[in-house]
Amino acid sequence: MKPIFVQVQCAPGKTYEVADEIYRKEIVSEMYSTSGDYDLLLKIYIEEGQDIGKFINDNIASVPGISRSLTTLTFNAF
């Protein structure tokens, strides 16, 4: 398993609803509220070799209240 970090921008006033919906999907290991352009930062573990874009589209992008495309950040820790 490897971690991916996904930033989500929510429609105005929808941050709590989006966070609740994502949490109920039971795919997030950690979730943080952020400031700036994005409202939530998600830490998700996926299988090695799994298509990140497909995972995001299938599990996160369809959540009502997300107003901006998702940015995926991945990196190798030392």
- pTM for this model (two decimals): 0.81
Average pLDDT over residues 6-21: 91
Q: How far apart are CA 14 and CA 67, in angstroms?
A: 9
Give the model's pLDDT for residue 78: 52
Q: Report how far apart, in Å, the C-alpha atoms of 63 and of each of 18, 28, 49 are.
A: 7, 14, 24
CATH number for domain 2-73, candidates 3.60.21.10, 3.30.70.920, 2.60.40.10, 3.40.190.10 = 3.30.70.920
Domain boundaries, the chain: 2-73
Read off the pLDDT of each residue in 45-52 and give the average, rounded to a whole number.
89
